[in-house]
Amino acid sequence: MSAPSDTPDPDGRQSASFGYRDVPAAEKAGMVRQVFESVAPRYDLMNDLMSGGVHRLWKNALLDVVNPRPGEKFLDVAGGTGDIAFRIVKKQGERADVSVCDINAAMLSVGRDRAVDRGLLRGLTWTTGDAEALPFPDRSFDGYTIAFGLRNVTDIDKALRDAYRVLKPGGRFFCLEFSKVTSVPMARAYDAYSERALPFFGRVIARDAESYRYLHESIRRFPPQHELAQRMKAAGFGNVGWRNMTMGVVALHTGWRL
């Protein structure tokens, strides 16, 4: 479970979790930025290796639930390399309208290059911004997606409130994130695998074991399904629910702006 972002440290400063450590809240965003600057060039390759390609199935399942319609405006947060945005654009066709927002310019650079390589030159905009203070007006979007990004923000509740703010009334929120495994044997195997495999692949492929050790630890400290659902409700969302995938290795949380 993640430590509350408003927990004071011994010196009275606000603290936030960074993996298994608690760090001054004001420093977390910069530390996360450094992690993703390091892993950006090999981020998508690493996702394939670490999940055996299953992350693609999870993301495709997300898009089936999102079911984007032509002309709807979508915001994909923490989606710098474009994996979710590209899927939405392809579903929407000629009337695609997707804004990608990521705090990390290196990840956005990778995403722009990938878009060009795929010939996706229309219907996409790229913006550097913080999930806790999005650079968009109130009530701007029909849908908000965030895949494997919410656990990296400093203040989850603040990010949820800002997601609610930028959605239009009736707008939909979708969060795909690692969660609490529902099977005890599976949980043990998954913990053992991720604890060893993420730093190993990070060292061999991305040449950065520490960043992938952080990613493993951030997964372990993220709120379980029921807690995140309650926090979504506290942010104002209605019709809140979740769907477990791969026995809860990941969960898809959904909610509506009322």
Spell out the SS3 assignment of 9-77: CCCCCEEEEECCEEEEHHHHHHHHHHHHHHHHHHHHHHHHHHHCCHHHHHHHHHHHHHCCCCCCCEEEE
Instruction: Judge whether 199 lies within some domain.
Output: no
Residue 151 lies in a domain: yes
Q: Nearest to residue 163, comparing CAs of 251, 101, 226?
A: 101
Cβ contact 9:24 at 8 Å: yes
Tell whether the model's pLDDT for residue 8 goes beyond 80.
no
Total domains, the chain: 1
CA 126 to chain centre: 16
Residue 47 near residue 250, CB atoms below 8 Å: no
Pair of tokens at residue 79: 């989606």
Q: Does some domain include residue 192?
A: no
Q: Which amino acid is at 165?
A: R
> Does residue 56 fall inside a structural domain?
yes
Whether the Cβ atoms of residue 104 and residue 38 lie closer than 8 Å to each other: no
Average pLDDT across the chain, whole number: 87
pLDDT band for position 2 (cuts 50, 70, 90):
very low
Q: What is the pLDDT of residue 20?
A: 60
Counts of helices then strands in the chain (DSSP H, E): 9, 10
The pLDDT tens digits of the residues spanning 154-197 come to 899 999 999 999 999 999 999 999 999 999 999 998 888 878 87
In a domain, 122, yes or no: yes
Q: With a cut of 70, say whether residue 93 has pLDDT above it.
A: yes
Band of the pLDDT at 74, cuts 50, 70, 90? very high
What value does the mean pLDDT take over residues 85-90?
97
Q: What is the mean pLDDT of residues 51-72?
A: 94
**pLDDT at residue 209 in the model:** 64
Question: For residue 115, which of 153, 70, 79 has the smallest C-alpha distance?
Answer: 79
CATH of the domain at 242: 3.40.50.150
Answer whether residue 175 is part of any domain. yes
Token digits for 47? 């996702």
Q: Which tens digits make up the pLDDT trace of 195-212? A: 887 777 667 766 666 766
Tokens of 245: 């995938």
205's tokens = 């492929």
Exposure class string for 185-204: b at 16+ Cβ within 10 A, else e: eeeeebeeebeeebbebbee
Task: Give the single-character DSSP code of 224.
Answer: P
| Of the listed ranges 35-44, 166-175, 236-245, the one predicted with least confidence | 35-44
Q: What is the pTM of this model?
A: 0.84
In a domain, 197, yes or no: no
CA 10 to CA 20: how far, in whole Å?
17
Contacts 24+ apart (CB under 8 A), 221-226: 221/1, 221/2, 221/3, 221/17, 221/19, 221/20, 221/151, 222/1, 222/2, 222/150, 222/151, 222/177, 222/178, 222/179, 223/1, 223/2, 223/156, 224/1, 224/179, 224/180, 225/179, 225/180, 225/251, 225/253
In terms of residue numbers, what domain contains 220? 32-182+211-256
**Domain contains 201:** no
